[in-house]
């Protein structure tokens, strides 16, 4: 597939710049909770900092900027998305769910503060996201009805029909011979719903509707599923693009490679990339950053794939 704008776009400086914006805003929003005052606040901050790539809030900024909004207007909404993501990771790492002792190479929140405090820290970040969305900065950046729409969008993505529902399906599928439909349903909810919401929220705040919102929604849907399939492939290979001796399938998780194999999983990734790029093709070079993010998402799990 040819997309010269996506290939020529220098993604890394863009990501660093946007990540710095998000981190600065998150610091500002969480400053009201002094980490020295209470263990809960320290645990909440630990779930947010140090952060990862900030993909979801960057997608909110990117979609909104594509539709004509300035980053300053989009930041409270982008940060609310990231607070939801941070909460989900804290809970995801708990022994009752994925049982991970480390997050980004550092001890997980529950390993430092205990399971109970980690659970509460996640709850705190979840509710803080909606506190932020209903506050003065968000209401000053978008019309009240748009803010209500965004709150509903994010609540849906985080709830029983989205992230939480996907986590529940994932838990129930452990140790079972899950079929492809089940795996896709898990991925679309557990990972894809928040990525889709991140894109749509940026577009909504910018005033997008009709064909623009539909195009960006399709992009977000395809990217969300591709993101988790790429993670599945990397997990099955021990974090590398080539096979490792042990992988996620041996941990009895329902993953794409464990159901259809690596070759078919990569073929699905290629298809999702083509669909995502096709959805934003009408924007041409204006959407170069969105195209580059899609290529990077797929390329990390595809040896020799250009990004």
Closest CA to 125 of 170, 172, 158, 161: 158
Closest CA to 78 of 118, 138, 131, 119: 138
Phi, psi angles (nearest 5°) of residue 234: -65, -40
Q: Return the percent helix, strand and coil in the chain, to nearest 5.
A: 75, 0, 25
Q: Would you state the pLDDT for residue 52? A: 87
What gap in Å lies between CA 51 and CA 83, rounded to an integer? 11
Q: Would you state the pLDDT for residue 252? A: 66
What gap in Å lies between CA 241 and CA 234, rounded to an integer? 6
Q: Evaluate if residue 2 carries a pLDDT over 80.
A: no
What gap in Å lies between CA 245 and CA 299, rounded to an integer? 22
Q: Which of 72-76, 97-101, 108-112, 118-122 has the lowest mean pLDDT?
A: 97-101
| % the chain with pLDDT above 70 | 90
Q: Would you state the pLDDT for residue 305? A: 56
Q: Would you state the pLDDT for residue 245? A: 34
Q: Evaluate if residue 111 carries a pLDDT over 80.
A: yes
Mean pLDDT computed over 64-89: 97
What gap in Å lies between CA 269 and CA 239, rounded to an integer? 17
Q: Which of 85-89, 99-103, 145-149 has the lowest mean pLDDT?
A: 99-103
Q: Evaluate if residue 6 carries a pLDDT over 50.
A: no
| CA 284 to each of CA 128, 279, 290: distance values in angstroms, whole numbers, following the listed order | 37, 11, 11
DSSP 3-state of 298: helix
Domains and CATH numbers, the chain: 4-299 (1.10.600.10)
Q: Would you state the pLDDT for residue 174? A: 86
Closest CA to 61 of 47, 35, 80, 46: 80
What gap in Å lies between CA 124 and CA 176, rounded to an integer? 33
Mean pLDDT computed over 263-280: 96
In contact, 150 and 77? CB cutoff 8 Å:
yes
Three-state secondary structure readout of 150-183: HHHHHHHHHCCCCHHHHHHHHHHHCCCCCCHHHH
Q: Evaluate if residue 1 carries a pLDDT over 80.
A: no
Verdict on whether the full-model pTM lies above 0.85: yes
Q: Would you state the pLDDT for residue 8? A: 66
Mean pLDDT computed over 76-105: 95
Q: Evaluate if residue 259 carries a pLDDT over 70.
A: yes
Q: Would you state the pLDDT for residue 3? A: 47
Q: Would you state the pLDDT for residue 235? A: 84
Across the chain, what does the average pLDDT equal?
Answer: 90
Q: Which of 28-37, 102-111, 163-172, 195-204 has the lowest mean pLDDT?
A: 28-37
Q: Would you state the pLDDT for residue 247? A: 37
pLDDT in tens, 17-37: 999 999 999 999 998 887 667
Q: Evaluate if residue 7 carries a pLDDT over 90.
A: no
Q: How confident is the model at residue 266 (pLDDT cuts 50, 70, 90)?
A: very high
Burial class (CB in 10 A: 0-12, 13-18, 19+), 13: exposed
Task: Catalogue the long-range contacts made by 258-261 (C-beta closer than 8 Å, 24 or more residues apart).
Answer: 258/178, 258/232, 259/178, 259/179, 259/180, 259/183, 260/180
pLDDT in tens, 139-194: 999 999 999 999 999 999 999 999 999 999 999 998 888 899 999 999 999 999 99
Q: Would you state the pLDDT for residue 32? A: 83
Strands (E), 62-192: 102-103, 106-107
Q: Evaluate if residue 292 carries a pLDDT over 60.
A: yes
Mean pLDDT computed over 11-22: 95
DSSP 3-state of 46: helix
Q: Would you state the pLDDT for residue 118? A: 97
């Amino acid at each position: 597939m040819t997309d010269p704008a996506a290939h020529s776009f220098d993604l890394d400086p863009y990501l660093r710049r946007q990540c710095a914006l998000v981190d600065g805003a998150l610091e500002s929003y969480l400053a009201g909770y002094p980490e020295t005052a209470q263990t809960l606040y320290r645990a909440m901050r630990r779930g947010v900092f140090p952060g990862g790539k900030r993909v979801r809030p960057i997608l909110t900024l990117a979609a909104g900027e594509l539709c004509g909004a300035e980053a300053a207007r989009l930041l409270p909404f982008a940060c609310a998305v990231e607070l939801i993501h941070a909460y989900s990771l804290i809970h995801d790492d708990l022994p009752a769910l994925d049982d991970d002792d480390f997050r980004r190479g550092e001890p997980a929140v529950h390993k430092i503060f205990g399971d109970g405090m980690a659970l509460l820290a996640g709850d705190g970040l979840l509710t803080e996201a909606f506190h932020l969305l209903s506050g003065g900065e968000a209401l000053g950046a978008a019309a009240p009805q748009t803010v209500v729409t965004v709150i509903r969008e994010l609540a849906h993505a985080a709830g029983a029909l989205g992230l939480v529902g996907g986590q529940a399906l994932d838990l129930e599928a452990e140790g079972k011979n899950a079929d492809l439909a089940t795996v896709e349903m898990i991925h679309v909810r557990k990972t894809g719903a928040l990525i889709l919401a991140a894109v749509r929220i940026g577009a909504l705040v910018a005033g997008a509707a009709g064909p623009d919102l539909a195009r960006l929604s399709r992009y977000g849907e395809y990217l969300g599923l591709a993101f988790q399939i790429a993670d599945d492939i990397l997990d099955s290979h021990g974090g590398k693009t080539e096979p490792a001796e042990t992988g996620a399938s041996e941990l009895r998780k329902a993953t794409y490679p464990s159901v259809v194999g690596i070759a078919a999983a990569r073929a699905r990734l290629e298809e999702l990339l083509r669909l995502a790029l096709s959805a934003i093709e009408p924007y041409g070079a204006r959407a170069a950053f969105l195209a580059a993010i899609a290529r990077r998402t797929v390329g990390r799990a595809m040896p020799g794939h250009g990004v």
